[in-house]
Amino acid sequence: MEELITKSIEIATIYGTKIIGAIVMLILGRILIGLFTGFIRKLMVKSKTDETLTKFVISLTRIALLAFLVIAVLGTLGVQTASFVAVIGAAGLAVGFALQGSLSNFASGVLLIIFRPFKSGDFVEAGGATGTVEAIQIFNTIIKTPDNKTVIIPNSKITGDSITNYSAKEIRRVDLVFGIGYDDDIKKAKEILERVINEDSRVLKDPAPFVAVSELADSSVNFVVRPWVKSGDYWGVYFDLTEKVKLAFDSERVSIPYPQMDVHLQQITTD
């Protein structure tokens, strides 16, 4: 009986020490993980990293560190952890293959958030869609088209194609083309175009607007009209100038010719 009690005390001492050590390791590990993830969060916030990416990185880091902590605690208790590591590795590999497309979208989302080729509110052409960016998420980007449709685009499709950001610069050039008839006065038409442009307060003085004859087309003499405006005024100026030029041409009797073709008929007489 004394031998049994002595043996029990020895076992309790050995395993009790391991259990206490494992509990202490678990508590200290949780504290250190909290401090480490908090430090990472402060660094990412200080560097103005996107909030979505910050939350994801913190969550992923916490899960990975907790997994290592659990394995270390089990090792302290004498549990063989090699099999656990192998199972976790195999499971990770299987999940990686199963979620290959999703992981590609995730990686692309991280790149979009880090390098920021566009931000929410920008008017862009990306992934086969054109519209205003509503949200940049980890796996996809949401774009609202001018006719108020919502387009959800996988991030990998966006990063795998060209991106045109119309809102990236503060000013944009409006490219317009107006044609007049060959019998009309070129100088008069040019003066009208310059007057209409200068009367619009949204047109910038620097860079100066540009008006010039660009082409002697089949049925018209074409002018290029290129004023510079703030990006937010682009479409307003585009539509207003188009209307004002038409009204000014009508008022000044400058014609905008229809496409036309001269047809010559030749009569052939037969004996």
Residues 155 and 212 placed together within one structural domain of the fold: no
Do 24 and 73 belong to one domain?
yes
222 and 148 in a common domain:
no
140 in a domain, yes or no?
Answer: yes
Q: pLDDT value at position 270?
A: 65
Residue 225, strand partner residues: 176, 211
131 plus 68 within the same structural domain: no
Q: What's the number of CA atoms in the CB half-sphere (13 Å) around residue 251?
A: 9
Phi, then psi, of 129 in degrees rounded to 5: -125, 155
CA distances from 35 to 39, 105, 139, 149, 168 (A): 6, 30, 29, 44, 38
What is the distance between the alpha carbons of residues 203 and 226, in angstroms, rounded to a whole number?
Answer: 10
Does any domain span residue 239? yes
Q: Distance between CA atoms of 39 and 44, rounded to whole angstroms?
A: 9
C-alpha angle with apex 136: 62 to 144, nearest 5 degrees?
155
Shared domain for 144 and 224, answered yes or no, is no
| In a domain? residue 199 | yes
Residue 145 is part of a domain; what is its CATH number?
2.30.30.60
- Same domain, yes or no, for 19 and 65? yes
- 214 falls within a domain: yes
- What one-character-per-residue DSSP string does 78-125 give? T---HHHHHHHHHHHHHHHHHTHHHHHHHHHHHHHHHH-SS-TT-EEE
Q: Are residues 93 and 127 in the same domain?
A: no
CATH number at residue 180: 3.30.70.100
Same domain, 159 and 200: no
Residue 111 domain-assigned (yes or no)? no
- Domain annotation covers residue 264: no
83 and 126 together in one domain: no
Enclosing domain of residue 78: 2-98
130-136 CB contacts, 8 Å cutoff, 24+ apart: 136/50, 136/52, 136/109, 136/112
Q: Where are the alpha helices (DSSP H) in the chain?
A: 2-46, 51-76, 82-98, 100-115, 155-159, 186-199, 234-251
Total structural domains in the chain? 3
Q: Say if residue 153 is in the same domain as residue 205.
A: no
DSSP state of 254: -
Please give the pLDDT value at position 42.
Answer: 85
**Number of residues that this document lists for the chain:** 271
pLDDT recorded at residue 256: 86
Residues 125 and 141 in one domain: yes
pLDDT at 7: 58
The pLDDT averaged over each successive group of 10 residues in the chain (271 residues) is: 58 65 82 87 76 71 82 73 62 54 77 83 91 86 93 91 91 95 93 94 94 92 96 93 95 84 70 57
| pLDDT, position 132 | 93
Q: Is residue 27 part of a domain?
A: yes
Burial class (CB in 10 A: 0-12, 13-18, 19+), 112: buried
Distance between CA atoms of 157 and 175, rounded to whole angstroms? Answer: 30
Q: What is the CATH number of the domain that holds 77?
A: 1.10.287.1260
The answer on 92 and 6 residing in a single domain is yes
121 inside domain: yes
